[in-house]
Structure 1
């Protein structure tokens, strides 16, 4: 099933649910940062994001790819999605293969049984390709207290899409992240890199497709290159999510 353009529920109930989810089922991160750190992550991921791996490699960095095995070689509103061979190639080059859900299901709307079954199916397929599949990002950024509680036992971390920095004691079950997306994405990401430097914190950036004509959820190769260069010049370590947490 190919995910379609999605807008999160903006109703009062949804806003309260998201806020409440950030308060419960927390798991403190124990970080040992020796310098401000930036992780570049890619959601879904379109095939263009796989080709963008070479940009990070030029900066002696690797990315974290949160993949849906159920989307392999499907075509959606961001173009063709990565396939199994491309995912295996990324893993072989040292990039981290993490998990979305297998079918890009909404973790809030899915039933508990369906969510866990979908998760296990994705882990099985991605692990077979050489990926660690140890870290998870909520599709659409949609999370619920039940999803946090159930998935926490399966993954080393769960990542959301609410903007923020990660510091020691931050919530491993709902890590914040900043999107490199839209017309202002590069400028916003650069500002957050500077905040990470000022406060000696960990910043997780995410995007989707990476092309010269990106979707509203993606960025250009040039923007990705400039951000990686800026982070390096500002004194940041560039690490995958797993590399940061394994310390």
Structure 2
């Protein structure tokens, strides 16, 4: 059973993550025809591969799934993690599969050599399934200037968990993300969609498990469906991370 992990939530950790935003920046050149929302899923629990993907497909959209191949099929605090066959199915259905380390490691606390080995193994596993893991999300949102530099040399974008919108010139090495998680997750995400519309900006939403009784890091299928519908009704494009940055 995979157990929850507590990253550094003290003052030093908060300052480190905030300072990292000032370093090793790489501007994202965005040409948005309209406000844009990306729905992303971390780790990923099997329920995200099924209910999460289905919710997007019902609206003619696709998502980005940040995958840890080392978790394939294991049980965890968010339910069973997707296995390799379920990831292959996501790829065949047009979803984007991206990197999240092999074993969901803290990129700040892992040595550069160990981190490279972990990333190499995860990328190889995903490539073997037919994915092209060009994008990455920091597990736990844990980042430091050293890790950001190392990862920025490997991937086209890096997503964190600090709230915000992406405008032209935003840092693709530390993209913000807004969680659809917890009892107020849907309300918070809906407000950020409205803000993205008002500013004609790019919003990246993320969640984990998608089930009727979600973990504190997940959401229900109905909540996800309502958010996708709200984004559509508000005039947003719904695109994967790669689609937005490639454009």
Normalised by the size of structure 1, how large is the TM-score? 0.98
Measure the CA separation in 2 of the matches of 1:174 and 1:147. 11
The two structures, once aligned, show a CA RMSD in angstroms of: 0.8
Corresponding residue number in structure 1 for 2:18: 19
Corresponding residue number in structure 2 for 1:91: 91
Deviation per CA, 1:69-111, whole angstroms, max 9, x where unpaired? 0000011111100000000000000000001000100001000
Corresponding residue number in structure 1 for 2:180: 180
* 2:7–2:106 CA contact under 8 A, matched in 1: no
* 2:210–2:218 CA contact under 8 A, matched in 1: yes
Corresponding residue number in structure 1 for 2:27: 28
Normalised by the size of structure 2, how large is the TM-score? 0.98
Cα distance, 1:164–1:3 mapped onto 2, change above 3 Å: farther
* 2:2–2:75 CA contact under 8 A, matched in 1: no
1:197 CA displacement: 0.1
Measure the CA separation in 2 of the matches of 1:125 and 1:63. 20
Is 1:56 paired with 2:56? yes
* 1:3–1:104 CA contact under 8 A, matched in 2: no
1:4 CA displacement: 2.3
Corresponding residue number in structure 2 for 1:105: 105
The worse-fitting range, judged by mean Cα deviation, of 2-11 and 226-235 is 2-11
Measure the CA separation in 1 of the matches of 2:107 and 2:184. 28
Structure 1 residue runs of 5 or longer lacking an equivalent are none
Measure the CA separation in 2 of the matches of 1:215 and 1:170. 31
* 1:63–1:240 CA contact under 8 A, matched in 2: yes
Structure 2 residue runs of 5 or longer lacking an equivalent are none
Pairing of 1:162-241 with structure 2 (within 5 A) = 162-241=162-241
SS in structure 1 at match of 2:169: coil
Measure the CA separation in 1 of the matches of 2:154 and 2:234. 35
* 1:180–1:218 CA contact under 8 A, matched in 2: yes
The worse-fitting range, judged by mean Cα deviation, of 7-16 and 184-193 is 7-16
SS in structure 1 at match of 2:37: strand
Q: Report the number of matched residues.
A: 246
1:3 CA displacement: 4.5
Corresponding residue number in structure 2 for 1:145: 145
Measure the CA separation in 2 of the matches of 1:57 and 1:164. 26
